[in-house]
Amino acid sequence: MTRRECVSNPNGVEANRFNGLITAFIGSGVMAEAMIGGLLSKEIMRPAQIIAADPLQDRCEVLKARFGIQATTHNREAVRAADILILSVKPQVLDRVLVDIGELGSLPKLVISIIAGATIAQISEGLGNPNVVRSMPNTPARIGQGITVWTATESVPEARREQARAILASFGQEVFVEDEHYLDMATALSGTGPAYVFLFMEALIDAGVHLGFPRRIAEQLVIQTMRGSVEYAAQSHEHPAALRNQVTSPGGTSAEAIYHLEKGGLRTVLSRAVWAAYQRSVALGAGKKVAHEPR
């Protein structure tokens, strides 16, 4: 295993933060793969600087073939080699992983968690390491369009914070917040947000098919409408209500559709869904179970 290798990058600045450093991903699912892709495509790290741990040998082989990185089925092997740890396992197995890693995850390593609900205190105590960054990315990171909310305690040095910022910015935008309680909010809003968008998209496509469009055309119309609307909102800097009013003529089709959406309680249902996701995130961090509403 090559442990120390300098990185050359024409843009240089971010790559220089990681000269000679090894980063280990503990858990190598969708988000970890997105992060690895971002780090390599931005030339922030080289493949030899990344090692991924996953319990499935087949998954390790896929990652090695796709990215040219190192991969192992043993968490401790990856952690022992690393200067930076990125925890990306499922919340339900975190405690077991922390016990497995143990003292190998202690100072001076930087630990970055992308695990929903997992608190800084939980990870710091489990590893005996105060250098913990908690973050919440989302799945558009897979195409470099994610957004990640993150925080760190005062014990994390500025140089380590800048390393975390560079890693999290490699697959989209990053937003730093001072207070950790915002992370549970971010989990409910932006972390889970793509699921809301995809459900709305699915429902709109199905409505188009119900009207009589072939599904292929309905999908094209809906996806481009959403893409264009989002980009329009981003470029206009106007409030969404103002943009909606621009397309809602008195007595017109948009006004009729909006009336039925409001009458059906769209805002209330969405607000309740986000609040429920927030409560779930808090409960995961506290190790509690949250009762489901009857279905």
Neighbours of 166 (CB within 10 A): 20
Say what the pLDDT of residue 293 is.
57
Q: Binding-site residues for NADP(+), please?
A: 26-31
Say what the pLDDT of residue 12 is.
58
Mean pLDDT of 28-41: 95
CA angle 87, 174, 44 (to 5 degrees): 70
Say what the pLDDT of residue 284 is.
86
Q: Is the confidence at residue 81, as pLDDT, over 50?
A: yes
**Strand pairing partners for 133?**
112, 152
What is the C-alpha separation between 249 and 241, in angstroms, rounded? 13
Q: Is the confidence at residue 9, as pLDDT, over 60?
A: no
Mean pLDDT of 218-244: 98
Q: Binding-site residues for NADPH, please?
A: 75
Segments making up each domain of the chain, as ranges: 13-178, 193-264
Q: Binding-site residues, please?
A: 26-31, 75
191-213 confidence digits (pLDDT tens): 999 999 999 999 999 999 999 99
Q: Is the confidence at residue 290, as pLDDT, over 80?
A: no
Fold for 13-178, please state it.
Rossmann fold (3.40.50)
Say what the pLDDT of residue 17 is.
84
Place of tokens 């989209």: 172
Residue 7: band (very low, low, confident or very high) from pLDDT cuts 50, 70, 90: very low
112-157 confidence digits (pLDDT tens): 999 999 999 999 999 999 999 999 999 999 999 999 999 998 999 9
The single-letter code of the amino acid at 49 is: Q
Say what the pLDDT of residue 265 is.
97
CATH number of 193-264: 1.10.3730.10
Say what the pLDDT of residue 3 is.
37
pLDDT more than 70, % of the chain? 93
Residue 66: band (very low, low, confident or very high) from pLDDT cuts 50, 70, 90: very high
Q: What is the pTM of this model?
A: 0.88
Instruction: Give counts: helices (H), strands (E), the chain.
Output: 13, 8
What is the C-alpha separation between 109 and 129, in angstroms, rounded? 8
Say what the pLDDT of residue 10 is.
43
Q: Is the confidence at residue 59, as pLDDT, over 50?
A: yes
Mean pLDDT taken over the chain: 92
